[in-house]
Structure 1
Amino acid sequence: MKALVYGGPGEKSWTQAPDPAIRDPRDAIIQVDAVTICGTDLHILGGDVPETAAGSILGHEAVGTVVEVGGGVSTLTPGDRVLASCISACGSCRYCRGGQYGQCLGGGGWILGHTVHGVQAQYARLPFADLSTYKLPHSVTDEQAVLLADILPTSYEVGVRNGRVRPGDTVVVVGTGPIGLAAILTARLYSPSHIIAVDKAESRLQAAKAFGASATVRPDGDPLEIVQALTGGLGADVVIEAVGTPSAFELCTTLVRPGGHLANVGVHGKPATLHLEDLWIKDVTITTGLVDTSSTPTLLRMLEAGQLDVSQMITHRFPMDEFMAAYDVFGDAAHSGALKVVLTRT
């Protein structure tokens, strides 16, 4: 088969790779029908994720058709159309039994495209398939479903839910790439009074408006002034960091009100300064997290019912054989205007 193979920092290729095989009775093999690229893949290519070894197949977001299952798989049969979750769960460790699948101690967690071969390939092996896949209804398209593999549950769980967004809140989302836009989309489920989007790229600020932001501002456009004007000088109830840079995180700490929540979603590859000399007295709650995907069934039902409109999220489409071009477009989003790119089997 062909796959997107990581060759070390800055190096990747769409090339021949061995077909996946069942290695554990709980495995399933899928034919990948639709797959996308994540900002985390760019972090890997940038050298920010040293656990990913050269020679690994990247990718953790896909929809596919089951072609083979191990003897320990009880809920899937060949021919089933499934969502491959970005998180794999053994189901029996302390964290899995508590619903914290992202912290799985039994060989799961975020492993696809990280510590085991991922799904940016024509075929992929899915460990713990019973608990790490979701059968898809006919009414949900491959393009819709692939957004449930990572960005929708990540933005909702790590951003909106950890941030404790409530009706009437003022919410700031710093970074309006796909994760930030998904945070805007899912924050709206809680009827906040204001959603303020902060980003350097004008194209992404326009996208934020389309997704429901009530105000937009560049980082150099004095976002603090706008937040204070909308909150009577208090600051934002919830600030969601969706960039993963020290400057973005430090900006977030200046925008949150005393007693507010700062939910970090961004993937950080460098240290960020925590200004406790300012924050120690402000009762601010700061959360970090890796998605657990516990919300995926709920989000799937909402998508099926038409309660989540993700149609604007996908801006570019490619056949799988154009993976290198897709990476070029996604990696230069400031100029291409790319949000999510989807590649499909031809």
Structure 2
Amino acid sequence: MKALVYHGPGKRSWEEKSRPELEKPTDAVVRLTHTTICGTDLHILKGDVPAVEDGRTLGHEGVGVVESVGEGVANVRPGDRVLISCITSCGRCDYCKRGIYAHCRDGGWILGHLIDGTQAEYVRIPHADNSLYPLPEGLDSEAAVMLSDILPTGHEIGALNGEVGLGDTVAIVGSGPIGLAALLTARFYSPARIIMIDPDENRLSMARSLGATDTIAGDAVDAVMKLTDGEGVDVAMEAVGIPETFDVCQRIVRPGGHIANIGVHGKSVEFRLEELWIKNVTIRTGLVNTNTIPVLMRILESGGVDAAGLITHRFGLDEIEAAYEAFSRAAEEKAVKMLLTAE
């Protein structure tokens, strides 16, 4: 089979690789029909994730068809069209029983990280019963790919951690794929205002089309305070992963508000505890658990959210090198989500 293989910082190759086989009774092998590229994949290629070894197949999102299952798999069978969760969960360990699948003792984020991932023609999925989700017949595969990672991440780490509520004013710092997913899912809770902040006018235009009430490209702190009559926001979501954007969140949150950190940070931030403690502010962060995939799937099935609207570029799976090149120049290419199709 063909796969996108990591060979150290700055090195990747679309090359021949052995087709994965069942290794445990709880495994399934899935033939990929759709996958995508995540910002985390770019971090890996920059060498920011040293646990990823030379020879690893990248990718942790996708939709496909089950090819084979181990004798211990009960929930899916060959021929089923399935969603692949970016988080692998055994369903049995203490963390899984608490719903914290991200820290499964025999799983978590391992696809494209510690084991071969989904940017390939085939992938082995451990703990298939808890890590694959059969797709309803009417659910479009393009939209379904967004359920692997970005929609549950935006929902769980953004909207739920931020405790978005009826009538709230929400600011999302960063209008990339995760920030836009946070926008889509925050709307489930009927905030009065959603302010999107990003220097890229193309992304702000997409944010407006997806329901943002206000957009800011310039000095975010001053602009937010003017929009809120000096009060600040009820919920500030950080969706970039750099110190500057986290600092914006600290400066714009109002007393009693919430900061939800979604972005993946590669270095320390300045934590303004001396200013925040007296404001009764709650700060939460985390790695997605994907335990809200079932409810999000029902919302997509009913047409309640336009997940496919996040896709800006489409490629064949064998064009993945070109897709990476475009995604690495996101601002220039006006890229948000890249869809790679093997069908």
TM-score if structure 2 supplies the norm length?
0.98
Partner of 2:333: 336
Stretch moving more, 275-284 or 168-177: 275-284
Stretch moving more, 146-155 or 241-250: 241-250
Unaligned runs of 5+ in 2: none
Partner of 1:130: 129
Q: Does 1:42 align with 2:39?
A: no
Partner of 1:118: 117
Between Structure 1 and Structure 2, how many residues are aligned? 343
Partner of 1:231: 228
Moved >4 Å (runs of 4+) = none
2:293 to 296, 304, 326: 296
Stretch moving more, 264-273 or 156-165: 264-273
1:282 to 279, 283, 286: 279
Equivalent position amino acid for 2:97 in 1 = R
Unaligned runs of 5+ in 1: none
* CA distance, structure 1, for counterparts of residue 220 and residue 191 of structure 2: 18
Equivalent position amino acid for 1:111 in 2 = I
1:49–1:269 contact (8 Å) kept in structure 2 = no
* CA distance, structure 2, for counterparts of residue 331 and residue 138 of structure 1: 34
Partner of 2:256: 259
* CA distance, structure 2, for counterparts of residue 260 and residue 97 of structure 1: 30
Partner of 1:200: 199
Partner of 2:63: 63
CA shift, 1:257, in A, is 1.0
Equivalent position amino acid for 1:286 in 2 = I
* CA distance, structure 2, for counterparts of residue 114 and residue 65 of structure 1: 22
Sequence identity percentage: 55
Equivalent position amino acid for 2:24 in 1 = D
Which secondary structure does the structure 1 equivalent of 2:305 belong to?
coil
Equivalent position amino acid for 2:166 in 1 = P
* CA distance, structure 1, for counterparts of residue 267 and residue 17 of structure 2: 32
CA shift, 1:299, in A, is 0.4
TM-score if structure 1 supplies the norm length?
0.97
Equivalent position amino acid for 1:229 in 2 = K
* CA distance, structure 1, for counterparts of residue 12 and residue 278 of structure 2: 47
User: Following superposition of structure 1 onto structure 2, how do residues 84-233 of structure 1 map, counting pairs within 5 Å?
Assistant: 84-105=84-105, 107-218=106-217, 221-233=218-230
* CA distance, structure 2, for counterparts of residue 74 and residue 51 of structure 1: 32
Equivalent position amino acid for 1:212 in 2 = G
CA shift, 1:224, in A, is 2.0
Equivalent position amino acid for 1:334 in 2 = A
Which secondary structure does the structure 2 equivalent of 1:263 belong to?
strand
CA shift, 1:232, in A, is 2.9
1:10–1:46 contact (8 Å) kept in structure 2 = yes
User: Following superposition of structure 1 onto structure 2, how do residues 231-250 of structure 1 map, counting pairs within 5 Å?
Assistant: 231-250=228-247
CA shift, 1:230, in A, is 3.1
* CA distance, structure 1, for counterparts of residue 247 and residue 10 of structure 2: 27
CA shift, 1:246, in A, is 1.2
1:314–1:342 contact (8 Å) kept in structure 2 = yes
Which secondary structure does the structure 1 equivalent of 2:278 belong to?
coil
